[in-house]
Amino acid sequence: MKGKRFLTRLAAVALAVALMLAFGLPAMAENYPDKPVSMIVTYSPGGATDFQARLVTMLASNDNYLGQPIVIINKPGAGGQVGWNWFIEKGSKDGYTLATYNVPHFIAQSIVYPTKYDINTFEPVGNWGADPAVLIVPKDSPFNSVKDLVAYAKQNPGKITLSGAGMYVGHHIAALQLMKAAGVKLTYIPEKGGVPAMQSVISGKVKAGFNNLSDSFRNQDRLKILAIADLERHEFLPKVPTLKEEGIDVDNSSVNYRGVVLPKGAPPAVIAKLSEVFPKMFADKKVKAKMKASGSPEKVMTRDQVIKMFKERQVYLEGLLAELKKKKK
Amino acid sequence: MVDFITYFPQALTPINLLVLVLGVIGGLFLGATPGLSPTMAVALLVPFTFHMEPATGLVLLGAVYTATVAGGAISAILINIPGAPANIATLLDGHPMAKQGQAQKALYYCFISSLVGGLFGMAMMIFFTPPLAEISMEFGPSEMFWIAVFGISVMAGLTSGSVLKGLIGGMFGLLVSVIGYSPMLATPRFVFHDVLTGGVAIVPALIGLFAIPQVFSLMESSQKVASDVEFKPQKGILMKTIKENLRHVKALSIGSVVGSIIGVIPGAGGQVAGLIAYDQVRKFSKNPQSFGTGNPEGVAVAESANNAMVGPSLIPLLTLSVPGSPTAAVLLGGLLIHGLFPGPDLFREHAAVTYTFIASLVLAQIAMCVFGILMSRYSHSVMKVPDLEMAAAVTVLAIFGTYSVQNSFDDVVVMFALGTIMYIGRKVGFSAAPVVLGIILGAIAEDNFLKGKLIADTDVGVMVYFFTGSLNLIIIALCAASVGYSVFSEVRQYKKAKARARAKEAGS
């Protein structure tokens, strides 16, 4: 009868776990946190956001940070909309449910779609990373510079296919900016995530792509990296010029910022505590070393800096997406 | 190869071996829990490797990956819920065998075939990595689209009985797969309720379609007299089963080869490897009717295929840094955390770690088989659980498994809804496998067709893009052959049945 007992026990454990997840008891803010904190990641396990989220929170249970572990919960779907909608609508507001954010993704989505979230519903507590988009072409591509690519696109409107991680993500924004600034028409191919988008470029299925600096950096033997969509060159790729240097007026609006937010309505004491602890934790030597080793560009920002960045992006993206939105309707 | 042998002993250090064994045993249990797919199990363990030596961490991840793939067969055979999509084909014959009192034999078959397939896949990986890596990059949107169509062509054959019902079930699955935001333009489709915003995820659908009808029918049958099949441990059948199993050369080789090929194709995933291989064996069999009723050959082909996929599925990851499957994507995280960037450097600069990892995958296959067989001895006790208690246990497992995929109660609702529809469908002769296949392949077909069309429009046009190129043509030919053969065998069976009826009439 061993198997039966095993099954019953398994069932009991399963129920207990499910109940624990569903009805976490509210706790006082003074002792916060006195139990593990969960953090919603709106993308699937293994993606860059998930991987980095696990990495930067690995020290949370140290006493000088939270003293409690952070448990990652993946809620992927519709480019992050499923997770963020859930977080605002159904997540607990007691400070024990956090979420990761990706800028410009969530801001662009809140402009284009009827989402439950926008910059006013999130209380940022810290930013850990900034992954700029880089313009890549296959190794054997005839394009050796941004100029080559733009010149070809001018002659052949819409003939250049350009892949990216999906609709209204940083790569898409970068593509829109490039088209607008250079006055060319490219065909944007939205893929299911950065990895398939990268693969399409490596194997020459598309003529170009915007992709994460981190992933492109790791694949630089199999790609040509033409430019970076940021204000300055990056330490990982010192030889790659910015689009601005190449004469294309594109700023850093497409840079993929990653960080942590609380929902609006969370206790002010919790917001204050996390805003103090998280930037410090992200800047910990151990975290920095792991981020660097894995080729993930780190950028630590405080709550105030993030709020300012959110606002700037909101204004810019509203302008950029206004035309697109009109066309859709 | 020389490197492989040089570094092999490194996998045998006491700590690595301990981690390997623990990983395999844990992986078998995790795999046997519905909803805890290999991807999930590996993702859960990646943080544990942060603090380990690189090689030891990778040994753990490799062992868990291997064991969870095989472990999914346990629940498929014993309680008719596939632990992961890859185990659908296992269940088709595995569960009928268990019901006939041969659960232990079915599990032996499963683990021995897994070992054969797994070792074949690893051999492919060790010997043919460079050419296979190149092939994997050949698959673009058009090739992937045709692969999905090929999978769909298999659908018709999966229902024992009616081709038409198989196709209708498949179409229903395809429809379900388009729920949610469209992959290209992000337009919401069929989102009648908030629950459906993210679309129907594969694992909840899988659990619902298989487990819920199972629960209902367990409750129905509990009113009747208990079956007279006696479930007791079968002693001394191990050697016999091994001999018998290895005699199914055809099933094992078709399974291993198909599994390896599909493993290399990025994005196709092992989810369909088992089903495609299963269908091929059934087509070549002398009595295809016996499949689906507890034919051990079915278990052998399904399990050899889905374990053969493990090795080759890592090739695009290790050589090109392009993870070919969701699990490989999670493993990429496990590599990066230790500063190991996949690509040619991995084999040059980090040879020790890389080859230790590969060696441990080989060892994990063997450990998986040994521990799997040991666990199988207790399988009879699961079969002895009375129906009503079983129904309760399966319900709990189904809810737990579904919830744990994305921590979403919406998925549980979707799971129950699909399950209820399937229960009614089953009453009128539909089966779940084509529906699941439709859900899996619909997304692949749609995504790649739209992507291909976007690319083709800027270039040579849709017709040329999809219908030229040797790889496209080969896959199209396979589709045609598969459909043609299904029709042919249907007609032949129809004629046979008619002749039999006539003979009967003449006789009477």
Residues A121 and A155 in one domain: no
Report the candidate in B417, B498, B464 with the shortest Cα–Cα distance to residue B172.
B417
Residues A98 and A120 in one domain: yes
Residues A102 and A47 in one domain: yes
Q: Are A143 and A235 in contact (CB under 8 A)?
A: no
Ranges of chain B whose pLDDT falls below 70: 1, 156-161, 222-232, 267-270, 507-508
Chain B segment 350-389 residues within 8 A of A by beta carbon are 378-382, 384-385, 389
Residues A150 and A183 in one domain: yes
**Of A292 and A258, the one with more pLDDT:** A258
Phi and psi dihedrals of B475, rounded to 5? -70, -40
Single residue among A228, A247, A276 that ends a domain in this structure: A228
Categorize the per-residue pLDDT at A304 as very low, low, confident or very high, splitting at 50, 70 and 90: very high
Chain A interface test: which of B317, B336, B377, B460 (most A C-beta within 10 Å): B336
Q: By residue range, what is the domain housing residue A76?
A: 35-131+255-328
Residue A46: closest C-alpha in chain B: B330
Chain A interface test: which of B196, B345, B400 (most A C-beta within 10 Å): B400
Residues A164 and A98 in one domain: no
Between CA B68 and CA A234 the distance in angstroms is 41
Inter-chain contact B186–A168, Cβ cutoff 8 Å? yes
CATH number of residue A63's parent domain: 3.40.190.150
Residue A250 lies in a domain: no
The pLDDT of residue A4 is above 80: no
User: How many structural domains is chain A composed of?
Assistant: 2
Give the mean pLDDT of chain A: 88
CB < 8 Å to A131, chain B = none
Tens digits of per-residue pLDDT, A133-145? 999 999 999 999 9
Contacts of B142 (CB under 8 A, 6+ apart): B448, B452, B456, B465, B466, B469, B472
Residues A149 and A71 in one domain: no
Report the candidate in B438, B40, B124, B134 with the shortest Cα–Cα distance to residue B309.
B124
Categorize the per-residue pLDDT at A128 as very low, low, confident or very high, splitting at 50, 70 and 90: very high
At B289 the pLDDT is 79
Which residue among A1, A15, A51 places its CB closest to the CB of B336? Answer: A51
DSSP A239-307: TSPBTTTTT----STT-EEEEEEEETTS-HHHHHHHHHHHHHHHT-HHHHHHHHHTT--EEEE-HHHHH
B392 touching A, CB under 8 A? yes
A157 touching B, CB under 8 A? no
Inter-chain contact B336–A295, Cβ cutoff 8 Å? yes
Residues A268 and A316 in one domain: yes
Please state the rounded mean pLDDT for residues A165-182: 92
Share of chain A above pLDDT 70, in %: 89
Tens digits of per-residue pLDDT, B458-494? 888 888 899 988 899 999 998 888 888 877 877 887 8
Residues A125 and A263 in one domain: yes
Inter-chain contact A294–B339, Cβ cutoff 8 Å? yes
Work out how many CB contacts closer than 8 A connect A with B. 172
Residue A248 lies in a domain: no
Please state whether beta strands A97-103 and A37-41 pair in parallel, antiparallel, or not at all (unpaired): parallel
Contacts of B427 (CB under 8 A, 6+ apart): none
Establish how many alpha carbons lie within 13 A of residue A99's alpha carbon, considering only the half-sphere containing its beta carbon. Answer: 30
Residues, chain A, total?
Answer: 329
Tens digits of per-residue pLDDT, A83-121? 899 899 888 899 999 999 999 999 999 998 888 999 999
The pLDDT of residue A63 is above 50: yes
Q: Which of A11-20, A36-45, B178-187, B484-493 has the highest mean pLDDT?
A: A36-45
Categorize the per-residue pLDDT at A56 as very low, low, confident or very high, splitting at 50, 70 and 90: very high
Residue A243 lies in a domain: no
The DSSP 8-state label assigned to residue B195 in this structure reads G
Residue A14: closest C-alpha in chain B: B400
Report the candidate in B132, B458, B60 with the shortest Cα–Cα distance to residue A161.
B458
Inter-chain contact B396–A294, Cβ cutoff 8 Å? no
Residues A259 and A222 in one domain: no
CA distance B215 to chain A (A): 15
Phi and psi dihedrals of A104, rounded to 5? -90, 5
Residues A166 and A122 in one domain: no
Inter-chain contact A190–B184, Cβ cutoff 8 Å? yes
Between CA A160 and CA B483 the distance in angstroms is 37
CB < 8 Å to A73, chain B = 407
Task: Tell me the three state secondary structure of residue A227.
Answer: strand
Inter-chain contact A218–B321, Cβ cutoff 8 Å? yes
Residue A17 lies in a domain: no
Categorize the per-residue pLDDT at A312 as very low, low, confident or very high, splitting at 50, 70 and 90: very high
CA distance A201 to chain B (A): 10
At A194 the pLDDT is 83
Inter-chain contact A74–B407, Cβ cutoff 8 Å? yes
At B222 the pLDDT is 62
Residue A292 lies in a domain: yes
- CA diameter of chain A: 76
Q: Are A182 and A153 in contact (CB under 8 A)?
A: yes
Torsion of CA B260, B262, B267, B268, to 10 degrees: -150
Q: What is the pTM of this model?
A: 0.84
Task: Tell me the three state secondary structure of residue A123.
Answer: strand
Categorize the per-residue pLDDT at A27 as very low, low, confident or very high, splitting at 50, 70 and 90: very low
Which residue among B140, B385, B399 places its CB closest to the CB of A205? Answer: B140
Residue A24 lies in a domain: no
Report the candidate in B33, B94, B91, B102 with the shortest Cα–Cα distance to residue B67.
B33
Single residue among A187, A210, A228 that ends a domain in this structure: A228
CATH number of residue A189's parent domain: 3.40.190.10
Between CA B367 and CA B364 the distance in angstroms is 5
Single residue among A181, A212, A228 that ends a domain in this structure: A228
Residues A144 and A221 in one domain: yes
The pLDDT of residue A21 is above 60: no
Between CA A85 and CA B194 the distance in angstroms is 10
**Any long-range contacts for B227-234 (C-beta under 8 Å, 24+ apart)?**
B227/B99, B229/B99, B229/B100, B229/B101, B230/B101, B231/B101, B231/B103, B231/B380, B231/B381, B231/B383, B231/B384, B232/B380, B233/B104, B233/B377, B233/B378, B233/B380, B234/B102, B234/B104, B234/B105, B234/B380
Residue A235 lies in a domain: no
At A313 the pLDDT is 94
Inter-chain contact A77–B180, Cβ cutoff 8 Å? yes
At A279 the pLDDT is 95
Residue A245 lies in a domain: no
Which residue among B47, B140, B336 places its CB closest to the CB of A294? Answer: B336
CB < 8 Å to B185, chain A = 167
Contacts of A202 (CB under 8 A, 6+ apart): A138, A139, A219, A222, A223, B137, B320, B322
Chain B segment 157-196 residues within 8 A of A by beta carbon are 180-181, 183-186, 194
Residues A121 and A172 in one domain: no
Count the Cβ atoms, other than its own, within 10 Å of residue A319: 8
Inter-chain contact B337–A198, Cβ cutoff 8 Å? no
Between CA B411 and CA B405 the distance in angstroms is 9
Residues facing A301 on adjacent strands: A127
B38 touching A, CB under 8 A? no
A82 touching B, CB under 8 A? yes
